[in-house]
Amino acid sequence: MQIEKIKDDIQVHLENFSLRDTLDCGQCFRFAEGANGEFTGIAANMPLTVRQDGNTIAFVNTSIHTFERVWRPYFDFDTDYEAIKKSFWKDPVIRKACGYAGGMRILRQDPWEALCSFIISQNNNIPRIKGIVERLCAQFGEKVDKEVYGFPSAKILAGKSEEDLRDLRAGFRAKYILDAARKVTSKEVDLKKVCNLSLEEAREELMKIKGVGIKVAECALLFGFHRLDAFPVDVWIRKALHFFYKQGFPEFAKPYGGVAQQYIFHYIRHCPEAMA
DNA sequence: AGCCAGGGTCTGC
DNA sequence: GCAGACCATGGC
């Protein structure tokens, strides 16, 4: 990876990276693609406009300091995805998915934001998840720029009532958001400790929260704690497992199963005919 | 119009 | 442990 400062932007030169596949694959909900192909969004209370042209990714109006502190880790630029993909090579299905979505990276999102976002995701579709998250931020998040709001802290939300969340139109998920906010704030569920637990223990810990089952827990662990062995199984992945892996998902792919899962998810959602 | 969505809980076996 | 009803809302 090569980094240079050009006027007010940071330009990164990097092969085998896809900005669109990374930001628009159902792992995060706060970036949107503009008319000219650039993406605008916010993470870690920092607004960002970013675009890709070939192997060049431009972080608009961004300092070196902010890039190094926020975006370099967020986009996981220091993880060797080529090595991860190589570990999948024996499997024809994942290899195919790599060919389609191999430019994707697993973002290092804030643990609380990921947990809360995937609580909202349950039995829901991605456009509506984005809408609810956006209203949540606009109503309770810190204003960081014009019309741009950070993700509200667990502490802020812990003091709210279901009535307060009514305008979100989150439905039955509102009480789950509050339960999560309260247990995280009280450290009944300590997100700092989750980092040190085994995958199984971490899952159990997160599942103390009402509205967090296996799938939501695995999503939080993969996207919020960067546990690349976490393996969320939603309806799409369930179909894929049934169609492609009747004798089970290959052992050798499990250490980075979450990455494989995300490639497959993206692939079959855009090419459902692959499972015809 | 009706099915479905990056599911989970609760109840009854 | 496992199946089935139920949950709010709205995208398509």
Give me the pLDDT at residue A154, please.
98
Q: Tell me, what's the pLDDT at A276?
A: 81
Distance CA A87, CA A78 (A): 18
Nearest nt (C1') to A237 (CA)? B6
pLDDT of residue A58: 98
User: Which contiguous run of DSSP H or E holds residue A65?
Assistant: helix A64-66
pLDDT for residue A196: 97
Strand B bases near protein CB (under 7 Å) are 4-10
- Per-residue flag: A169 CB under 7 A of strand C: yes
Q: Which of A195, A1, A25, A22 is nearest to A80 (CA)?
A: A1
A104 CA to B2 C1' distance (Å): 35
Distance A212 CA to B5 C1' (A): 17
pLDDT at residue A209, rounded to an integer: 98
Strand C near-CB residues (< 7 Å), A 77-106: none
Which stretches of A87-209 are DSSP H helices? 92-101, 111-120, 126-140, 154-158, 174-185, 191-194, 199-206
Consecutive sets of 10 residues in chain A, 276 residues long: mean pLDDT of each? 97 98 98 96 98 98 98 98 98 98 98 98 98 98 96 98 98 98 98 97 98 98 98 95 95 98 97 90
* Its pTM surpasses 0.95: yes
Identify the residue whose Cα has the smallest distance to the C1' of C10. Answer: A128
